[in-house]
Structure 1
């Protein structure tokens, strides 16, 4: 099979959206991306399309793609993220080996530009039904080190929200909170497995300037002096999901409380407050993703807010020397 391999461009977003839809029919993950979603992903400041993306074409048909995404820090290692798509009809050992070999070489080049001398780990995720990709990673030496679950909550059947402690009043997110929220997120997730620091540029792309971010349904708790975010819930709404499912779903991307305030039920209370607000705005469901071994016992917090596990993603890692 003679495929043409070349870097991706922003103009390839519609072809990628078509490939996503094809793979979703075979391996349903519940994730639906349109061209605008993929164009935003490819426009990330952490993506070098010309030097760290690839795609395979059979004539005018996109049949595979790969993107290497650098991270904002290398502590304890630079955990480069790998994203791949492969058409079900083109999956064989040769294509899989080509893809993972390209990932390794491209990640090394990205790493040497960003964090020369630091350890390098390649991180990839496979949905529980994506067995071909998981097998491809395992044959290349990747090890399954972590499991993550997607959880959903029916907003029509929420448990009663816990009250926030006296003196802590939620405020909706606004642009003036950008840096305080970024610093709080980085502090809360420091040391979490697979997490890296978000730079101001990446924060704007991924959070505050994202087309899907919902500042009106993202809430912060501020310190008495107003100079620090002490807890937060950040949310997004993906119109492309509703276009396919017909369900208006709020995606909760980040929930966190600074260490000094943990153990007081603040995360549960703020998340419950957010879900009640979302329900009043016509949202029917909420979703999130969480590490099952999260050190702050987040799984139990989310279950207490009405979330239930619906599917699993496996995290694979390959250290590169």
Structure 2
């Protein structure tokens, strides 16, 4: 189906005039989130992640950076349920990234305190998110396929049941993979005519453009604007990030960006370097550049005393990334799913 075959965006998303604020929620009062709520939201997420036994924890820095981005309207796109003691027991966010060119997306994110589950609060919060998400999709004015999207860990069974009951279906499956660094690292030569250099701020804009090109054929990926690209870097590890350059032209052929999530280490019981982004532009594919970048970063992780190298992968990635990682010694240890309503 092409965009010319689609019904008008406004008809497809059916955005409501008003967003239904939850009612009858055992005394919770509802208001938007502000940056002052970062400690409270962090505590709530820790409680949720402990209850769901997830192999990570969300840090205050990561919660705080969700307030970055001039395109976000926190007064209308966030919600907090506060009890009589002033404690946040539930929250919700909706984000519609500004750079979408192929599918216009609204990402829904939220949580309910485990002690307050089973009272119908999550159902009402999700209804609020869907309504606000549809409003944001309609307001984008982009006559494109549209999507309401929610990422959830596969172990969060209550969330999975709620999403299915609310009309969401699994759209994509993701695996977290890790490789021990106390065994021999893969010996992968850098392809002829290319050099792998440390990431630098001077190269960052070229890396952004390379990323947009490299991921243009990946399901669910959309171009990152300069502002969007610069956000979400509270855990960015520059010394674990690398860029592959073409020796003859200086063009960026590929890149690897890492994060250092030290707050996860006590939870998982080991120290790890995490590969957040890995990409190779089409003109340089088929030369084993991705394995060379991974071998380079594994050596950097190992030199800094890390026990494991970790990364995440779309299990249906058409580039064969899952097989590539397995061939380098990575194995799956956790999984998650993107649920969506396609509009």
TM beyond 0.5: yes
**Which of 191, 196, 207 in structure 2 is aligned with 1:170?**
196
In structure 1, what is the Cα distance between the partners aligned to 2:250 and 2:229? 19
Q: 2:144 matched to 1:118?
A: yes
Which secondary structure does the structure 1 equivalent of 2:189 belong to? coil
Tell me the residue number matched to 1:307.
Answer: 330
Choose the corresponding residue for 1:221, options 241, 244, 260.
Answer: 244
Q: Is there any run of 5+ residues in structure 2 with no aligned partner, and where?
A: 1-25
> Cα gap change, 1:218/1:141 in structure 2, threshold over 3 Å: closer, same or farther?
same
Paired residues, what number?
Answer: 317
Residue in structure 2 matched with residue 291 of structure 1 by the alignment: 314
**Cα contact 2:174–2:312 (8 A) shared by 1:** yes
Note if contact 1:47-1:67 (Cα within 8 Å) is conserved in structure 2.
Answer: no
Shift of 1:244: 4.5
**Is 1:89 aligned with 2:115?**
yes
CA distance in 2, matches of 1:55, 1:278: 39
Secondary structure class of the residue paired with 1:42: coil
- Name 2:209's counterpart in structure 1: 183
SS at match of 2:195: coil
Write the distance in 1 (CA, Å) between the matches of 2:126 and 2:142: 22
Asked if the contact 1:236/1:253 (under 8 Å) is kept, the reply is yes
Per-residue deviation at 1:227?
4.3
CA shift, 1:266, in A, is 1.2
Residues 66/117 of structure 1: CA separation in 2 closer, same or farther (3 Å cut)? same
Report the CA distance between 1:284 and its aligned residue: 1.9
2:261 aligned to 238, 241, 246, which one? 238
Q: CA, structure 1 residues 115+251, in 2 after alignment: closer, same or farther (shift >3 Å)?
A: farther
After superposition, the C-alpha distances for 1:159-185 in whole angstroms (9 at most, x for unaligned) are 423111123221101111111100110
Range with bigger deviation, 297-306 or 221-230: 221-230
How far off is 1:149 after superposition? 0.6
Q: Does 1:106 align with 2:132?
A: yes
1:142 aligns with 2:165: no
- CA distance in 1: counterparts of 2:169 and 2:80, whole angstroms: 25
- Say if 2:224 is the partner of 1:198: yes
After superposition, give the CA deviation of every residue in 1:8-45 in whole Å (9 maximum; x if it has no partner): 11111111111112112211121212222211123244
The verdict on how the C-alpha distance between 1:160 and 1:77 changes in structure 2, with shifts beyond 3 A counting, is closer
Q: Which residue of 2 aligns with 1:156?
A: 182
SS of equivalent residue, structure 2 residue 194 = coil
Counterpart in the other structure of 2:9: none
Whole-Å separation in 2 of the counterparts to 1:31 and 1:45: 28
Alignment partner for residue 19 of structure 1, among 44, 48, 56? Answer: 44
TM-score (norm 1): 0.93
Structure 1 segments of 4+ aligned residues over 6 angstroms from their partners: none
Q: Is the 8 A contact 1:219 1:234 kept in 2?
A: yes
Which residue is equivalent to 2:298?
275
- Aligned 8 A contact 2:104 2:137 in 1: yes
Per-residue displacement from partner, 1:103-159 (whole Å, max 9, x unpaired)? 122112322343444332111111111111111111111111211011111111244
Q: SS in structure 1 opposite 2:191?
A: coil
Is 2:289 aligned against 1:263? no
Distance 1:251 1:279 in 2: 12
CA deviations on 1:22-74 (whole Å, 9 max, x unpaired) are 11221112121222221112324454311111111222221111111112333
For the 8 Å contact 1:45–1:202, the answer to whether it is kept is no
Deviates more, 1:239-248 or 1:140-149: 239-248
